[in-house]
Amino acid sequence: MKKKIAFALSLVMLTGLFAGCAPKEPTPTQAANPDPAVSEPAAEVKTYNIGVSIYQFNDNFMTLYRNELESYFKSKETDTVKYNVVTQDGKNDMAEQTNQINNFITQGMDLIICNPVQTSSADTLIDLAVDAGIPMVLINREPLGVDADGNTVDESYPGIVDNAEVCYVGADARQSGTYQGEIVRDLADKGDINGDGKVSYVMIIGDPENPDAQYRTEFSIKALTDAGIEVEELVSNIGNWDTAQGQQIAQNALNQFGDKIDVIFCNNDGMALGAATAIEQAGRKVGEDIYLLGVDALEECQKMVKDGTMTGTVLNDHIGQSHKAVDVGIELLEGKSIENYYWVDYVKVDANYVK
């Protein structure tokens, strides 16, 4: 009996000894909360990796867009969910962008957000993501489907509608073109500022393969002709969304056509800023002998509309669009099912516009 007690005692002592030697690394939760009764296991942090490819960084509107996209992702972080966003410059080069998407795939990104350099090559990029099983949100440049007669069809681009984890977030560019035309239509002289009975215009185009450019060009004029206004195109030229090119095109047109020009329509504000400089240099005055229209409603252009140095612009809601792209991206990361198309409205910005 004595022997048994002695053995039991030494066992207890040994256990105590080992327990004393065992490493005593407190878990973070224990350290923060010394009361073992309420201690919980440390929360796990999940980090999602997101690859973003922007068609080119050197674009006024897309710069606002990508900055907002990144800061909205940050605002969505919690103690347990983080978003590691890697944004790259496509440099307006399809080969460069294809490389970026391939690298995103090799790096095992959880989500890809893509602002395609060429909408006509969107399928190649979509296929890469789909084959790798990575969800993709396309933004700002809508790839268009084509029907049997060769007409473009919205909301039916096969690469988008055929894939449950691919979607497009954007704005309907026809609306922005229509708004530009309506701003001119609603002027007291209906845009015929030189009073020769027709609206003679210069059209400065973004880039010919971008639906935003195509629709704005078409629908701005359609809003005038639908209202029974006679129009005459004096110049139609490509400015690649760029301020310097917009200025050059406007300058050439003003040299060539002078007072014949009633309106300069620009597919975006970037080019309208250039046209505004050309107008000033030519000694012309917006609202007095010429009209000037843009799209995007950049801060500086909103100010110009207020002070009369620009006739009007159309708010291209980069905040609404980038937030929608992030929200739907997060739904994809969480494995939720999504729609294929998400649309954000444009807003008309003329002299009556109140923010």
Residues at the site binding ligand BGC, with contacts judged by CB under 6 A: 55, 59, 61-62, 140-141, 206, 210, 212, 241, 268, 270, 295-296, 316
Rounded to the nearest angstrom, the gap between the alpha carbon of residue 140 and the centroid of all alpha carbons in its chain is 5
Q: Which is nearer to ligand BGC, 192 or 312 (CB)?
A: 312
**Shortest CB 170 distance to ligand BGC, Å:** 8
Task: Enter the tokens of residue 181.
Answer: 């035309």
Q: How far is the CB of 49 from ligand BGC (least distance, A)?
A: 25
Pairwise CA distance, residues 101 & 112, whole Å = 8
Whether 266 contacts 290, CB under 8 Å: no
List beta partners, residue 266: 204
Tell me how far, at minimum, the Cβ of 315 lies from ligand BGC, in Å: 10
- Give the C-alpha distances (Å, rounded to integers) separating 113 from 152, 209, 271, 354: 24, 20, 26, 33
Nearer to ligand BGC by Cβ, of 192 and 296: the residue is 296
Rounded least distance, CB 206 to ligand BGC, Å = 6
The β-bridge partners of 238 are 205
Name which of 180 and 311 has its Cβ closer to ligand BGC.
180
Q: How far is the CB of 196 from ligand BGC (least distance, A)?
A: 31
Strand partners, 237: 204
Q: Are 176 and 142 in contact (CB under 8 A)?
A: no
Judged by CB, which is closer to ligand BGC: 224, or 315?
315
Q: Which is nearer to ligand BGC, 182 or 296 (CB)?
A: 296
Tell the residue number behind the tokens 């450019």, with chain if given. Answer: 213
CB of residue 212 vs ligand BGC: minimum separation in angstroms?
Answer: 4
Give the containing element (helix H, strand E) for 350. none
Contact call for residues 190 and 229 (beta carbons, < 8 A): yes
Which is nearer to ligand BGC, 296 or 350 (by Cβ)? 296
